[in-house]
Amino acid sequence: MDRREFAALLPALLAGSALVPESVEAQGSSLPVIESGVYKPTPAKPGSMAGHSSSRYLTGMLKAGNIRLEMHESTIDPRAEHEAVGTHLHSEIWLVREGTAELTTNGVARTMVAGDVGICCAGDKHFIANTSDKPVTYFVVTVGPPE
């Protein structure tokens, strides 16, 4: 996705629109092929850690080849622990919708506020944390090979 395509998509992301047809569902352990369309978020569910919640928009494979695409919106409450430092085969893009977050990649911490985009390339060690006294909400787009 080039910068113009992302910029065209940004208003829909901020408005809460989604990117995967509602009819596309994962079948068994295989991922669905993502088709052009509009996607609605799932209801927010508690995350794997206290103070974290998330709504999924899509998970699937792009027609272009062996490329997995996933998108969700997450909220981290103030004072919630950050998730474990991780690495992946895929790259991740974060877009902060509201609040202040700190994105740490390979030991370098960077502050992100509403409207900022952060990127973590495949293989880099990373985590995101809420560094404020208010919730931080952000979209995450992951792109890369299936894991």
**The whole model's pTM is what?**
0.77
Q: What is the pLDDT along the chain (147 residues), one digit of tens a residue?
A: 445 554 454 444 433 333 333 333 333 348 999 999 999 999 999 988 999 999 999 999 998 878 999 999 999 999 899 888 989 999 999 999 999 999 999 999 999 999 999 999 999 999 999 989 999 999 999 999 988
Tokens of 13: 């992301």
Is the Cβ–Cβ distance between 26 and 45 less than 8 Å?
Answer: no
- pLDDT per residue as tens digits for the range 68-88: 999 999 999 998 998 889 899
